[in-house]
Structure 1
């Protein structure tokens, strides 16, 4: 497998995931050649990211006193093709927690247990009234750290 810049040791990285969601590849997500369109993984990442953040309790505070999460960047590495009706298990984990942001990593595994996609993205917490980054609260950091163990 080729070297991916945000993965130091692939086997260690792969073993650190615990949260995942199932994804079934729909016809509308494929292109005229029958394989998954290059934008579709970003939709899968969004769905998995939201479910992951809900699972660690980050959407319990509807008053947004700790700010709101926004995606600052997002990337995908395509390792194997995916096709209509393939089954994908999309794994998500918090990889790095900083002062105002955290990185989320993604891994997509097909029905043959092959890693087809990897990805990463930075989530920044901002003040909704100013759009400026906010320091991550202690409770938010604790929730992310607890979910990544």
Structure 2
């Protein structure tokens, strides 16, 4: 996918700088850092969807059940990256988030991955249905409308 197409499929994206401290002894960004990149865009998505506000009000919110990353090209300092996120496979209590990390310096895909997000009732310690207004916000966001 070309960089200009990311906005079409990934309605939430962030531009960030690769920082020196993210590099490892092999002189590229450490593999664990990509999961922080995914977390950054996941949280930006949750904020746009009203998920964090809902969690604060009800103690029901997201918990990451699983995640994975496929590394496509090494990132190095200095670089600028675009991190994109997209949601699908919405079910009663969960949905899947997809992520891409694109290097602006190399003009290539550096990594892609996904995460399974389950809604969780933190007070009663059990999974919970994704609130209908959150599902509606996801659908609006995925359709290109502002939320």
TM-score, structure 1 length as denominator?
Answer: 0.85
Query: Which residue in the other structure is 1:118 paired with?
Result: 112
Query: Which residue in the other structure is 1:3 paired with?
Result: none
Task: Verify: 1:70 aligned to 2:63, yes or no.
Answer: yes
Query: Which residue in the other structure is 1:100 paired with?
Result: 93
Alignment match of 1:39 (pick from 25, 32, 39) = 32
Change in 2 beyond 3 A, CA 1:113/1:56: farther
Query: Which residue in the other structure is 1:148 paired with?
Result: 142
Displacement of 1:18 in angstroms is 2.4
For 1:59 and 1:147, the matched residues in 2 are separated by 16
1:25-36 map, 5 Å:
25-36=18-29
Unaligned runs of 5+ in 2: none
Unaligned runs of 5+ in 1: 1-9
For 1:19 and 1:39, the matched residues in 2 are separated by 22
Displacement of 1:108 in angstroms is 0.7
Which 4+ residue blocks in structure 1 deviate beyond 3 angstroms? none
What SS is found at the alignment partner of 1:141?
helix
Task: Verify: 1:23 aligned to 2:23, yes or no.
Answer: no
RMSD, aligned α-carbons: 1.7
What SS is found at the alignment partner of 1:36?
coil
For 1:135 and 1:60, the matched residues in 2 are separated by 16
What SS is found at the alignment partner of 1:60?
helix
Alignment match of 2:123 (pick from 123, 129, 137) = 129
Compare the two structures and name the one with the higher helix fraction.
2
Displacement of 1:122 in angstroms is 0.7
